[in-house]
Amino acid sequence: MKASLNARTIIVALVVAGLLLLPVYTTLSGNVFGLTLFTRIIIYALAAASLNLIMGYGGMMSFGHAAYLGIGGYAVGILAHEGIGSGFIQWPVALAASALFALVIGALSLRTRGVYFIMITLAFAQMAYYVASGLARYGGDDGLTIYKRSDFGGLIDLSNRVQFYYLCLGCLFGGIYLIWRIVNSRFGMVVQGLRSNERRMQAIGFPVNRYKLVCFVIAGTICGLAGALLANNTDFVSPAAMYWTRSGDLMVMVILGGMGSLFGPVLGTIAFLLLEEALSQFTEYWALIMGPLLLLIVLFARGGIDGMLGRARRG
């Protein structure tokens, strides 16, 4: 990452600075809404970044990524409901549950390729959705209200908006740093090689499915963290978090930002959610504009926002 002064570097730097300073602005101006909105954006950006790891770098088009948002959220919600409020228990459980789910469905799904893979991941996420809908004890269809946010002792207070915002931001930056290290490591080279030419990778001696599966599990685990954050943000978790349109939203965020670019998903998420927010201020029928806009973006702006900022994406 050479800090050459191109458009991308400037934009990313501005976005990072903006995100870091946002609470200062909202506190001074008393604009609470801005802080809540951006907390949500940051959490989704983390989820999108994790999807980008498998989709953009690994070439695995998962259409069921929202499942981990739900699983992470339900891990927090169910434990809270059962009286276990400590975040030191809730969060590791959320991560472990997401990892386990990713391990199981990854092992099965990775037998398939192409569109079949898109569809089977979708099917597994829908299964998770229906399981959650059937959890009568935990609200079923209506979802589960979380009365108390995860408790981290005196370490951090999640009910404090600013503290929670910075926690989410920390998770996002931490997640992106982790992904950056991973994609440039030996493991990451293999995963990117697989996207480029799987047959070749096999021929030079890589057991391809093992690498794909590990990558799939890492991405699922990171998204599980986003799920735990999301549940704390809304004080609520419901099957709707896992519905297939939510997986579609995540895909849109990644593609909009630019696949296989480190900060692309962050830019994509900001653009998508801000646009949604702005359009819904302007008209009740925001999707009437958003929909064709997506179509136009696909038709005329390939490579997403990252692509528009010039320079072919790195291999």
CB of 226 to other proteins, least distance (A): 20
Is residue 18 within 8 Å of 194, Cβ to Cβ?
no
122 or 158: CB nearest other proteins: 122
Question: CB-wise, 144 or 255, nearer to other proteins?
Answer: 255
Rounded to a whole number of angstroms, the minimum distance from the CB of residue 279 to other proteins is 10
* Furthest C-alpha separation in the chain: 60
CA distances 108 to 6, 86, 209, 213, Å, are: 43, 33, 11, 10
The residue (of 18 and 207) whose beta carbon lies closer to other proteins is 207
Under rule CB under 8 A, residue 206 binds other proteins: yes
Residue pointed to by tokens 């990524």:
65
* CB nearer other proteins, residue 89 or residue 131: 131
Site string for other proteins, 219-248 (x = CB under 8 A): -------------------------xx--x
Stretch that binds other proteins, among 35-43, 70-78, 220-228, 287-295 (CB under 8 A): 287-295
* Of positions 85, 152, 163, 286, contacts other proteins by CB under 8 A: 286
List % helix, strand, coil for the chain (3-state, nearest 5): 75, 0, 25
- 290 is a contact residue toward other proteins (CB under 8 A): yes
Q: Can you tell me the distance from the alpha carbon of 305 to that of 48, in angstroms, rounded to the nearest whole number?
A: 14
Binding range to other proteins, per CB under 8 A, among 65-73, 81-89, 143-151, 185-193: 185-193
Say how far apart CA 139 and CA 131 lie, in whole Å: 12
**Contact of 222 with 38, CB cutoff 8 Å:** no
To other proteins, the closest distance from the beta carbon of 25 in angstroms equals: 31
Give the whole-angstrom CA distance, residue 271 versus residue 250. 12
State yes or no: residue 138 binds other proteins (CB under 8 A): no
Restricting to residues 64-123, name those near other proteins by CB under 8 A. Answer: 108-109, 111-116, 118-120, 122-123
Phi, psi of 207 (to 5 degrees): -75, 90
Q: Which residues contact 287 (CB under 8 A, 6 or more apart)?
A: 279
Assess 193 for contact with other proteins (CB under 8 A): yes
For other proteins, give the closer residue by CB, 5 or 299. Answer: 299
Q: Are 223 and 50 in contact (CB under 8 A)?
A: yes
Residue 246's closest CA among 66, 114, 80, 98?
66
Binding to other proteins, residues 251-280 (CB under 8 A): 251-252, 255-256, 259
Helix (H) or strand (E) holding 177: helix 161-184
Per-position x/- string for 25-64, each x denoting binding to other proteins as judged by CB under 8 A, each - no binding:
------------------------------x-----x-x-
Binding residue count for other proteins, defined by CB under 8 A = 74
Judge contact between 138 and 78, C-beta under 8 A. yes
Given candidates 92, 291, 310, 311, which one binds other proteins under the rule CB under 8 A?
A: 291
Among 181, 278, 282, 311, contact with other proteins (rule: CB under 8 A): 181
